[in-house]
Structure 1
């Protein structure tokens, strides 16, 4: 059923999954011990019905089809798997190391590109606050 959707629709769906996952992980500070799949799915539902323009473009018959939702759930798992397994770039690693040194804080673990992005943004904000 997902295969029948337009390329644009599938791309928007993928971007939505990434956006919701990234937002959710930021709310828990990328602390895996706080991860709650039910809460992530609740945020996904909220996003789907309130922000995802591609979802509003879908035919109601597709939206109500259990096969569509099963395939969508599989796609969500697939995308999240890809995201958490994408290693940080060398540039991200260098930037985190630079920020950690400038802030005089202890180094910390991070496992993927999205998590590194989160920490870079967080550390940059800390550095701005420190300069103020």
Structure 2
């Protein structure tokens, strides 16, 4: 069923999963201990029903079909695996190491999205110290 949707809708679904996941992980500080798949799904469900333009473009009959939900869950899993396996760039690593040395901190990060979060935290801390 998911395969029958337009490429634009499929791309929008993938983007909404990525954005929701990265936002959720940011809210919990990328803490594996605080991660709750049900809470992530609740956040994503709220996002798609209130903010995602693609959701209204899918016919209600498709949204009600259990096969669609199964395929959507598989897409979520694929996207999360891709995000978590996307390594940080060399530039991110260098920037984070410079900031950590300057701030005398040690944050672990395992993927590109988490590195963005860590870099933002460190930059905000550095800016706060300079003010």
TM-score computed with the length of structure 1 as normaliser:
0.96
Alignment of structure 1 residues 23-42 onto 2, 5 Å: 23-42=23-42
Structure 2: gaps (5+ residues): none
Determine the C-alpha separation between the residues in 2 that align with 1:103 and 1:110.
Answer: 16
Deviation digits for residues 63-105 of structure 1 (CA, Å, limit 9, x no counterpart): 1111111100010001000100111110110010011112222
Determine the C-alpha separation between the residues in 1 that align with 2:114 and 2:107.
Answer: 12
TM-score computed with the length of structure 2 as normaliser:
0.97
Secondary structure at the residue paired with 2:33?
helix
Deviation digits for residues 29-77 of structure 1 (CA, Å, limit 9, x no counterpart): 0010111011111101101111111011111111111111110001000
Determine the C-alpha separation between the residues in 2 that align with 1:131 and 1:102.
Answer: 12
Structure 1: gaps (5+ residues): none
Cross-structure match for 2:87 = 87
Secondary structure at the residue paired with 1:21?
helix
Number of equivalent positions: 131
Q: 2:107, 2:118 within 8 Å by CA — same for their partners in 1?
A: no
